[in-house]
Amino acid sequence: MATDDATPAEDLAQLLARLKDEYGVNDSQIAATVGVSVSTVNTWVHRKRQPRPDALRALSAAYPKFTEDRIFAAAGRKTPGPLSPSAEERLLELFRGLTAEQQADKEVELRALNERNRSALS
């Protein structure tokens, strides 16, 4: 995970405060841009919940002065790898070739990996 050594580590609430100052936006505008409710953004600001990866990516896309790596690091997560449409289609095709039992097993395994990534701090 790339971080700027001159920039002190910050949590997501601190990053959101800086983002709001930098872009002159409020919680309502962030919510509309990211596609979540204002109350959801409020839970992030008050450190009650962490956003899902898709919301973190949407923040990065909407506010490019804050990179994906920086936003994910502030949320205490590793940045997920990129998934191109062709890679997604290849993975889905592989998944379709599995039996129902194998698909269920892979889903459990993928959920466990995702959960581990959500709880990892680096």
Q: For residue range 29-40, list pLDDT tens digits in order.
A: 999 999 999 999
Token look-up 């002159």 returns 24
- Name the residue among 40, 46, 38 with its Cα closest to residue 17: 46
How much is the pTM?
0.72
Quote the pLDDT of residue 122: 39
The continuous run of DSSP H or E covering 53 comes out as helix 53-62
Q: Which residues of the chain fall short of a pLDDT of 70?
A: 1-8, 118-122
- Name the residue among 40, 37, 28, 32 with its Cα closest to residue 12: 40
Quote the pLDDT of residue 92: 94
For residue 37, the SS3 value is coil
The continuous run of DSSP H or E covering 100 comes out as helix 100-119
Quote the pLDDT of residue 23: 97
